[in-house]
Amino acid sequence: MEDIDNAADEYSGPSKSQLKREMTALQDLGAELVALSKERLAKIAMPERLRDALLDAQRFTKHEARRRQMQYIGKIMRDIDALPLQAAMDEIKGVSEAANIRQHRLERLRTRLMEDEAVFGEVARDYPAADMQHLRQLRRNAVKEAQLGKPPRAYRELFRELRELEGQAGMEDADE
């Protein structure tokens, strides 16, 4: 009788169903990664073996070849820590809190640039690689568009440039 009680107390690991759910989640994450552009994939830190498998999957057009490659990607992902990849995907999709905070910070910076040209000194200090002449031109165009009541094309382009500068600064910090 004691043997039965001891056996019930021992943890035998996750159930088969739980393992299948985890593997399916990894394959789904792999499918999301395959859907990204090559440039976006290059910005995400991952093992080279996984990156090669993802790029191969993007090349495949036949259904069965693509299905097998997705299975292979899932197998590779079992051996690595998928949390950083999931965090990167969440940030790309804009569902992470860090992505929202960065988005709001960039929007405030753009608004301050529109209100006061002196903010360019702060931008030059924070982003030394910035093309200040291009940013000033975008600001002038955005102000002119706002005055004339035109669609905010330059206003949006200014935000894209600031976001790209932020991304470049993040990549340089990661390299150091």
User: For residue 3, what pLDDT is reported?
Assistant: 53
Angle formed by the axes of helices 97-115 and 132-148, nearest 10°: 70
**Exposure pattern of 24-57 as b/e (b: 16+ CB <10 Å)?**
eebbebbeebbebeeeebeebebeeebbebbeeb
Same CATH fold assignment for domains 14-93 and 97-175: yes
**Averaged over 41-52, what is the pLDDT?**
88
- The more confidently predicted of residues 90 and 9 is 90
**Averaged over 84-100, what is the pLDDT?**
76
**168 pLDDT exceeds 80?**
no
What CATH number matches the domain at 14-93, 1.20.120.1200, 3.40.50.261, 1.10.60.30, 3.50.50.60?
Answer: 1.10.60.30
In the CATH scheme, what is the homologous superfamily, with its name and number, of domain 97-175?
Answer: PSPTO4464-like domains (1.10.60.30)
- The more confidently predicted of residues 75 and 91 is 75
**Averaged over 36-42, what is the pLDDT?**
85
The confidence band for 91, taking pLDDT boundaries of 50, 70 and 90, is: confident
The confidence band for 95, taking pLDDT boundaries of 50, 70 and 90, is: low
